[in-house]
Amino acid sequence: MSGRGVDGDDRLDGDDDWRPTAPLENLKRRAELVGAVRRFFAERGVLEVETPALGAATATDLHLASLATSLSAPLASCAATLSAPLASDAATLSAPAAGGARRLYLQTSPELHMKRLLAAGSGPIWQLCKAFRDGEAGRRHNPEFTMLEWYRPGWDHHRLIGEVDELLRATLPGIVGGGPREQLTYRDAFLTHAGIDPFAADAQTLRSRAAELGVDVGAGSASWSREEWLHLLLAAVVEPRLGRGRPTFLLDFPASEAALARVRDGDPPVAERFEAFVEGVELANGYHELADAREQARRFAADSDARRRDGLPAAPADARLLAALEHGLPDCAGVALGFDRLAMLALGVDSIDQVIAFPIDRA
Amino acid sequence: MASFSTNQFRPGLKIMVEGDPCNIIDNEFVKPGKGQAFNRVKYRNLRTGRVNEKNIRSGDVFEGADVVDTDMQYLYKDGSGWHFMDPASYEQYMVSEAAMGDAQKWVKEQDICSVTLYNGQAISVTAPNFVSLKVTETDPGLRGDTSGGGSKAATLETGAVVRVPLFINVGDLLKVDTRSAEYVSRAKE
């Protein structure tokens, strides 16, 4: 949970905690990796962009917690923007806080802003930026982390999987050289690695399967939902077995896990979403992007209801994204890749503290 | 007693798990991409000594365990158990065989041990890291062999058996590391 010192020492106290946790040699190799990524996209003619770390809206996803701050000097145009007609009843711009200050959110990913660039006609774009997620700290998580995100207009998620695979081979040559990539549907991954059909099993069945697989759980688990059991089995049983010797791409997630991906009709309907795994580490999450403004507004509203039901803080949906979708988002696929984890794999270390200078406990 | 959320879990924190006081050994945050976050928590049950691992939903809250470690002097053993005294309060505590655990292999009367009290009851005992014990039984020593090139079994006055170098004799006083149950050196009287 807490940061690990350079020598795996758990103690952060004492006079030495001004020092970086990552050896300087690791930071040099990380910088080389940034160079390799920049060359990768330059060679492909993808435009490097920068979008705000602070936004008026944030991700509505139930499992993402945003950090917020307030801006004390409201912009002159702020009042006009707020009184403008909203693209949907479900969407609300962040309300001004007391004293005229505005609430702003540190972005959990650059997705909302990058899609507005795509709608404005940017063509293929990429960026390497800081993203922020409250409460996420551990061996593979830091609340402030570096994300590599890119979008390909005119592509679907299958074609983008091919490019993610090429990026992994360019940056992790020693690790993913063991053969062609593996593509596995969400259902087949559960059938193969956990021996259960994730679309058919109910909460009780998933619970007994977890027990059979030796996944011990806390006392509160009696009330867990089907989705929570699936998340547990995925994290504890399935994921550690993926990406061994070659990258694994997990496809066709349940429609309930679509987030901002398109849902393909079928029995059952599945989300056109993928995740990439290398050596049991979840590296990337990609979508064939949802472009339907009305469907997007409906999902924001559903998230908002679920947040209220679960007592989670409200996350204002992005009215400007909905307006951009109304205008027209090109058919495209996009992916977000955890750059710190890519660096961990490239350097062969098992803690994120080994690839960032100052993790949250020393920030 | 205070309550602790999974994001406050640190090695050494004592919490109640299923009615037993437990000591957290490791806490790992795991989260599938877009899903529910869990904490994989490894802990030692202080009553049984067993180590277990549980997946707990991140943000779930556990009650802290009212557990105190106190240095106490081992007095004597009788039919009812092992008896210790808190040198500060002169209060005496009886420790059961189960709670003594491995410590019974190492302690001699007068030794100072760390006794873990839960709700005023002794639930476990940790022997001093190093103890000096006399050899009661071993094969005859090989004179002149101090190279440490081989080893043999030696029984100590408490009944514990450790591997020792070949030159050790019955009656020798040995310094032993109780955490690894390994011979360290010969000790002076």
Percent of chain B scoring above 90 in pLDDT: 67
In Å, how far is A135's CA from the nearest CA of chain B?
Answer: 7
Query: Nearest by CB to A137, which of B29, B56, B57?
Result: B29
End-to-end CA distance of chain B: 46
Contact A138 B29 (CB under 8 A): yes
Q: What average pLDDT does chain A have? A: 89
Task: Read off the pLDDT of each residue in B20-30 and give the average, rounded to a whole number.
Answer: 92
Measured between CA atoms, the residue of chain B closest to residue A260 is B34
Neighbours of A339 (CB within 10 A): 24
> Which residues are CB-contacts of A76 (< 8 A; sequence separation ≥ 6)?
none
CB-based contact, B189 to chain A, within 8 Å: no
Based on C-alpha coordinates, what's the Rg of chain A?
21
B4-43 residues touching A, CB cutoff 8 A: 7, 9-11, 18, 27-40
Residue identified by tokens 């009330």 is A223
Q: Which residue of A has its CA nearest to B56?
A: A218
Is the pLDDT assigned to residue A186 strictly greater than 90? yes
Q: Which residues of A touch B37 (CB under 8 A)?
A: 63, 135-136
Residue among A136, A218, A282 whose CB faces B57 most closely: A218
Torsion of CA A172, A128, A123, A316, to 10 degrees: 130
Of B10, B27, B60, the CB nearest to A218: B60
CA distance B29 to A141: 8
Residue A239 has its nearest CB partner, among B32, B39, B55, at B32
Are A114 and A320 in contact by the 8 Å Cβ rule? The answer is no
Whether residues A216 and B54 touch (CB distance < 8 A) is answered with: yes
| Smallest Cα distance from A120 to chain B, Å | 28
pLDDT band at A91 (very low <50, low <70, confident <90, very high): very low
A190 vs A275: CA distance, rounded Å = 14
pLDDT exceeds cutoff 60 at A98: no
Contact A279, A251 (CB under 8 A): no
- The Cα of A232 is separated from the nearest Cα of chain B by a number of Å equal to 7
Contact B55 A217 (CB under 8 A): yes
Structure tokens, A108: 């959990």
Least confident among A76-85, A260-269, A276-285: A76-85
Strand A332-338 relative to strand B3-5, pairing: unpaired
Identify which of B31, B35, B53 has the shortest CB distance to residue A216.
Answer: B53
Residue A240 has pLDDT above 50, yes or no: yes
Listed residue (B79, B74, B76, B126) closest to B101, CA to CA: B126
Does this complex have an ipTM over 0.85? no
Can you tell me the mean pLDDT for A58-72? 93
How many cross-chain Cβ pairs, A to B, lie less than 8 Å apart? 85
Residue with tokens 């002076």: B188
Q: What is the mean pLDDT of residues A308-324?
A: 93
Question: Mean pLDDT over residues B139-162, rounded?
Answer: 81
Residue A159 CB: number of other CB atoms within 10 A? 12
Nearest-angstrom CA–CA distance, B118 and B95: 12
Q: What is the pLDDT of residues B14-23, one digit of tens each?
A: 999 989 999 9
pLDDT classification of A6: cutoffs 50, 70, 90: very low
Confidence tier at B12 by pLDDT (50, 70, 90):
confident
In chain B, residues with a C-beta closer than 8 Å to the C-beta of A232 are 36, 38, 55
What is the mean pLDDT of the segment spanning B55-59? 91
- Examine the pLDDT at B112 and tell me if it is beyond 50: yes
**Cβ-defined contact of B55 to A2 (cutoff 8 Å):** no
Beta bridge partners of B138: B154
Q: Are A129 and A53 in contact, with CB atoms under 8 Å apart? A: yes
Question: What amino acid is encoded at A28 in this protein?
Answer: K
Chain A residues closer than 8 Å to B59 by CB = 135
Residue A190's SS3 state is: helix
Q: Count the neighbouring beta carbons within 10 Å of the beta carbon of residue B18.
A: 10
**In chain A, whose CA is at the least distance from the CA of B27?**
A1
Is there a contact between A63 and B59 if contact means CB atoms under 8 Å apart? no
Question: Considering CB atoms only, which of B53, B54, B58 is closest to A135?
Answer: B58
Confidence category of residue A16, pLDDT binned at 50, 70, 90: confident
Judging contacts by C-beta atoms under 8 Å, the chain B residues touching residue A1 are: 7, 9-10, 27-29, 39
Angle at alpha carbon of residue A339, lines to A337 and A341, rounded to 5°:
95
Judge contact between A150 and A122, C-beta under 8 A.
no
Minimum CA–CA partner of B29 in chain A: A138
Helix (H) or strand (E) holding A149: strand A144-153
Which residues are within 8 A (CB) of A80 and not within 5 positions of it... i.e. 6 or more apart?
none
Contacts of B34 in chain A (CB under 8 A): 61, 63-64, 257, 259, 285
Q: What dihedral do alpha carbons A359, A360, B3, B6 form, nearest 10°?
A: -50
Tell if the CB–CB gap between A1 and B29 is shorter than 8 Å.
yes
Which structure tokens are listed for A309? 């039901």
Across residues A107-131, what is the average pLDDT?
98
Q: Which helix (H) or strand (E) holds A207?
A: helix A203-212
Q: What is the per-residue pLDDT for A14?
A: 56
> CB-based contacts of A181: which residues, under 8 Å, 6+ apart?
A161, A165, A246, A247, A248, A249
Q: Which CATH number is associated with domain A14-181+246-362?
A: 3.30.930.10
User: Model pTM?
Assistant: 0.79
Using CA coordinates, name the residue in chain A closest to B55: A217
Q: Which residues of B touch A135 (CB under 8 A)?
A: 7, 37, 58-59
Length of chain B: 189
Question: For residues A274 and A252, what is the distance between their CA atoms, to the nearest angstrom?
Answer: 7
